[in-house]
Amino acid sequence: MALKILIVDDSPAMRAFVRRVMRLSGIEVEQYMEAGNGVEALAALESSGVDVVLTDINMPVMDGEDFVRRLRGSDRMQAMPIIVISTDATTHRIQTLLSLGANGYLQKPFGPEQLRNEVERILGVNHA
Amino acid sequence: MLEANDTDALVAALLDSCCEQVLETMFFAPVLEPADPASSSGAARVDTRLTFEGKPSGAFEVDADPGVARTMAANFLGVEESEVNEQQVDEVLAEFTNMTCGSALSSLGCVEYFHLATPRTSRPVEFAPSINGVRRAFLLENGTLGVCLRVDLDGM
């Protein structure tokens, strides 16, 4: 099954890196959507659903914590799988995001294998 | 309680480990050997720095040979070096700064939480370190990369 992925990060370079690593992971992607912050991501999701959201935390306008909180508060999007990608691996931060409703947490640095494992884990599928 | 020298040694080891891991995993740029951190002073560098607030607060700085910064950007984006523009070099070095600092802080046992400010990049013709902290440097394929971390443990 090819996936529709939303990448939320204020850095165009990081969004390009995630697309590249996704390609290297072997996961088949039907469509990438991109957003530079939580507000843009919510707007994008209003018009089109996705299979997985990959989101940064530290972003302007609306950060990752607020974005996850809003998604989980939405009737239509509350079950959407979310993986947080962050350099911050403190217990405080991870527990906060998971308690808000994130399904997975991927710490930078990461490579294709870690990304693939996390996507497959939260979707409960194998894309080999 | 850790003495200052113990803390510096711990931070130095963490910087070595985190830089090596970040460079290899996300920039496909292996560290060839350690370099002298003082060697970048007075040279043309791409310089990126950020501050962080939390428990603890502090600052982090990265300085790179322009050739190293360009190679890192090309490797990160998966394109040829000739296709990379200056803005992309700045963005990618900012990403390296962000993730190396975050990785080091996350590995430092005494850190409760932190918030990284947006990295700022400049291109000094004669680089001079802007923060006083633990400095490390590494030889990569096209030149050297330096890092410096200051952790303010007062009040923790």
Question: What are the C-alpha distances in Å from B20 to residues A59, B8, B29, B74, B140?
Answer: 26, 18, 9, 18, 10
Domains of chain B as residue ranges with CATH: 4-152 (3.40.1550.10)
Domain architecture of chain A: domains with CATH: 3-122 (3.40.50.2300)
DSSP state of B117: P
Asked if the Cβ–Cβ distance from B77 to A13 is below 8 Å, we say yes
Structure tokens at A104: 């997975």
Using CA atoms, how far residue B51 sits from A49, A51, B115, B148, B151, in Å, is 37, 36, 9, 12, 10
Quick check: B1 pLDDT over 60?
A: no
The chain B residue lying nearest A57, using CA atoms, is B115
Quote ipTM for the complex: 0.86
| pLDDT value, residue B49 | 97
Sheet containing A82-86: order of strands: A29-35, A3-8, A52-55, A82-86, A104-107
Mean pLDDT over the full length of chain B: 92
pLDDT single digits (tens) A60-93:
999 999 999 999 999 888 899 999 999 998 999 9
CA dihedral A50, A32, B121, A91 (to 10 degrees): 40
Q: Mind telling me how many Å the CA of A21 is from chain B's nearest CA?
A: 9
Q: Does pLDDT of A102 surpass 90?
A: yes
With a pLDDT cut of 90, the percent of chain A lying above it is 87
- Work out the percent of chain B whose per-residue pLDDT is above 90: 83
B27-63 confidence digits (pLDDT tens): 999 999 999 999 999 999 999 999 999 988 999 999 9
Chain B residues in contact with A58 by the CB 8 A cut-off are: 98, 115-116
